[in-house]
Amino acid sequence: MENIVIGTENLKKSYKKGVYAVDGLSFQVKEKRITGFLGPNGAGKSTTIKMLLGLLEPDDGRIEILGNVMKTDSPRIRKYIGFMPELPKFPRYLTGMELLEIYGEFLQMEKNEIRKQAKELLEEVGLGKDMNKKIGNYSKGMQQRLGFAVAFLNNPPLAIMDEPTEGLDPVGMVEIKKLIKQKARDGTTIFLSSHLLKEVEEICDEVIVINRGRLVTSGTVEKVIAEAYNRKIIEIEVDRLGNVPDAIRKLPYVIDVSVENNKIFVELSTDEDVRAIISRTIYENGSLVIGMGYVTETLENAFIELLKNGVNVK
């Protein structure tokens, strides 16, 4: 069985009487995976993350992290969770290195170990040249990179990151994505919130989608995309159209057929592979298949589709 690193049950938080920012949220994050935590603005992602870290007290529900129930055990568990806050704000008068040193002491790491790890991480996140400059002189992206180093300073088994690639330029984005994947390969479980669904699709193994404080769906990226659509689309390029679109329209499971130049788009209501039947139909109607394949949907489109389908699927 897979180990569960984060488990929540019926988590609730309201900032204003009667209005729940997090409204009965239950989900699980599996060990050594990269799990994306998605939802539109105001969905409750940051509120949930703050509760996971014990920075905010839930009104109701239960949180278990690394086998410990949060709340009673929190100070002890906190050491094992690397955290990268949304838009980190670090003291401007410290240098990047000084910040990591202070943080390492807080984590009760050994002095030598702190310097070694800090130097290595600062190099990794691209702040090697700037580690002795004051944070006040860092750009937004540099502060974000520093936040990454803070989160991984003591090689935690779990890292929770709120929008880790926010404010990064395209090169920074590629670098940080690579680092996140590397850390996951090294054995860290990663839980990250993000709006950048292309990035999420690329690096995450699983996703948890929430809206208005509730779970919409969760699972592997592929499963979530498939679930968003109860239809499949096949794109076929044919030699000549002739009667082919009409003939395909009459086949079982075909919901809709549309044509663009020599391409036919067939919408299906089945998961069964009907490509052979379609090929034969095309051949029998005096044409030939030049190319055929399923149209793949992106996580981005699936996300829009899921949120359109209602607030709470589950």
Ligand X SMILES: Nc1ncnc2c1ncn2[C@@H]1O[C@H](COP(=O)(O)OP(=O)(O)OP(=O)(O)O)[C@@H](O)[C@H]1O
> 3-class SS at 45?
helix
Q: What is the residue-wise DSSP string for 155-175?
A: --SEEEEESTTTT--HHHHHH
Find the binding residues for ligand X in span 7-36 (CB under 6 A). Answer: 15, 21
Asked if 165 is part of the footprint of ligand X (rule: CB under 6 A), the reply reads no
Specify the residue, 21 or 190, whose C-beta has the smaller distance to ligand X.
Answer: 21
How many residues does this entry show for the chain?
Answer: 314
- Residue 238 near residue 287 (C-beta atoms within 8 A): yes
Minimum CB separation from ligand X for residue 50, in Å? 8
Q: Which partner in ligand X, Mg ion, none is near 39 (CB below 5 to 8 A by kind)?
A: ligand X
Q: Which partner in ligand X, Mg ion, none is near 309 (CB below 5 to 8 A by kind)?
A: none
Distances 115 to 79, 88, 105, 287 between C-alpha atoms, Å = 18, 22, 11, 70
CA 254 – CA 131 distance, rounded (Å): 61
Among 36, 44, 58, 245, binds ligand X (CB under 6 A): 44
Asked if 82 is part of the footprint of ligand X (rule: CB under 6 A), the reply reads no
Minimum CB separation from ligand X for residue 59, in Å? 13
Asked if 41 is part of the footprint of ligand X (rule: CB under 6 A), the reply reads yes
Minimum CB separation from ligand X for residue 152, in Å? 22
- Residue 209 near residue 197 (C-beta atoms within 8 A): no
> 3-class SS at 12?
strand
- Residue 246 near residue 254 (C-beta atoms within 8 A): no
CA 6 – CA 1 distance, rounded (Å): 15
Minimum CB separation from ligand X for residue 212, in Å? 8
Q: Which partner in ligand X, Mg ion, none is near 15 (CB below 5 to 8 A by kind)?
A: ligand X
Stretch that binds ligand X, among 41-49, 64-72, 272-280, 304-312 (CB under 6 A): 41-49
* Residues in touch with Mg ion (CB under 5 A): 45-46
Beta bridge partners of 294: 234
Specify the residue, 196 or 264, whose C-beta has the smaller distance to ligand X.
Answer: 196
CA 311 – CA 67 distance, rounded (Å): 31
Asked if 108 is part of the footprint of ligand X (rule: CB under 6 A), the reply reads no
Q: Which partner in ligand X, Mg ion, none is near 294 (CB below 5 to 8 A by kind)?
A: none
Minimum CB separation from ligand X for residue 23, in Å? 10
- Binding residues for ligand X, rule: CB under 6 A, are 15, 21, 39, 41-47
